[in-house]
Chains A and B, each alone.
Chain A
Amino acid sequence: MTILVLTLIIFFGSMLAGFLGSLTGLGGGILIIPMLSLVFGIDIRYAIGASIVAVIATSSGAASAYVKEGITNIRLGMFLEIATTVGAFAGAFIAAYAPTNFIAILFGSILIFSAIFSFQKKNPHFQNRPGSKLATLLKLNSNYPDNKGNIITYSVYNIVGGFFMMIVAGVLSGLLGIGSGAFKVLAMDNVMRIPFKVSTTTSNFMIGVTAAASAVVYFQRGYIDPSLCFPVTLGVLTGATIGSRVLTKAEAQWLRIVFAIVITILAVEMIYNGAKHRF
């Protein structure tokens, strides 16, 4: 296969990954890495490098829209970025010494977790007790406009627990080259009890900075190959942009089911190949 043909195929594959990633809210990275490494036989380190660059592009693109709508909690995002960037740096550092087969197996496990996560019920939180003292001190309690234009005020709980979970999210992001949005949302939604809409947009806001902290390490380690990043980044960005346009119309349950099945198959294959030392 020549470079021209491969570049075109990778571009369209990445577009599909970006599209599905944006529809399901799991991001493009989670599909890009298995696609590049399993389908095209590309070294997983190049796949991780290309993915992290694509992750920065999509999260920055989407954040620009969310920030404008005033849903993103910028202070909360900034504060938790301390945790995610430290984690990401540590993760990217470990990645250089961890065997690629171990990374493949870990990646597979995270894929399975993400498949389960995509079915998580979005229950509204009942905020029957005041937010934690630390939340007041850090000015994290805030408000956001809902669909009808009402201003909803919310408090933030369990800052310390959320902060530690964000360190884990950062390590996974740096180690695997993904945005690890699912973990960030889990930390904010389940642990800190922040409204789901605020959790998802704030998570997305943080992903770019988190990924940048590990991308600077990857860049200097030679993980970022320009000729591969070119179709991957532009493809994922195009797909995610199309995905965000149709997002409101397509909240179909069947899409989630298909997606969960696809990820589970990919996960099993990553774990199997990792265990057989094929990476």
Chain B
Amino acid sequence: MALSTGSNNIMKKEKKYWQDKDVELALGKLLRWGVVLSSIVVLTGGIIYLSRNAGSLPHYHSFRGLLLPFHDLSDIFKGIAEGNGRAIIQSGIILLIATPVARVLFSIIGFIKEQDWLYVLIASIVLAIIITSMLLGIKA
């Protein structure tokens, strides 16, 4: 192509700008769809839960923590298969918690595309901290 170096540089700069913009737009979309999707799942589970337990009495005054079901994935999957409302809500909550984590993962990909290795490292550290938090939480 018969482009002078000057216009080539401008093209490069513009391309860089658009890549940045693309990443920002994609991040925004990811966050929005994560929230919308998890809200729909939580609402679905909530309606099923209410339709079956509307008349019973709540239990929130005393903390029962892990004595109640649906705090690990296999338990939740089993519950979903049985159409349990609480299990479906719980899966929606996991989707919601996963949304910002997916955002970090996505940023890493964005920074790789921009070849910004410093920020590939920084975003990876953030992801590693969250994963550590998750794994240490299981042990506790």
Contacts and interface: CB of A to CB of B under 8 A. Distances in A.
A23 B70 CA distance: 35
A217 B132 CA distance: 10
**Chain A, interface residues (CB within 8 Å), range:** 35 or more
A223 B65 CA distance: 6
Contacts of B129: 82, 85-86, 89, 213
B39 A85 contact: no
Interface string A55-81: 011011101110110101011001101
A130 interface: no
A60 B62 contact: no
Contacts of B38: 57
Given A61-B31, A78-B119, A216-B134, A3 B50 contact: yes
Interface in A26-73: 40-43, 45-46, 53, 56-57, 59-61, 63-65, 67-68, 70, 72
Given A219-B137, A220-B138, A209 B96 contact: no
Interface residues of B, number: 70
Contacts of B100: 56, 59-60, 208-209, 211-212
A65 B138 contact: no
B89 A74 contact: no
Most buried by B among A89, A212, A228: A212
A221 B119 contact: no
A152 interface: no
A120 interface: no
Interface in A72-113: 72, 74-75, 78-79, 81-82, 85-86, 88-89, 92-93, 96
Contact of A222 (B58, B66, B125, B133): B66
A7 to B, nearest CB: 6
Task: Across the A-B interface, give the 9 residue pairs with the lowest CB-CB distance, nearest first.
Answer: A222-B65, A208-B100, A226-B89, A230-B46, A4-B54, A64-B32, A64-B31, A222-B66, A89-B133
Interface of B: 21, 23-25, 27-32, 34-35, 38-39, 42-43, 45-46, 49-50, 53-58, 60-68, 70-72, 85-87, 89-90, 93-94, 96-101, 103-104, 107, 116, 118-119, 122-123, 125-126, 129-130, 132-134, 136-138, 140
23 contacts: A3-B54, A4-B55, A56-B99, A67-B28, A68-B25, A78-B126, A79-B122, A82-B129, A85-B126, A85-B130, A92-B133, A208-B99, A208-B100, A209-B103, A212-B101, A220-B138, A222-B68, A227-B85, A230-B42, A230-B45, A230-B46, A233-B96, A237-B35
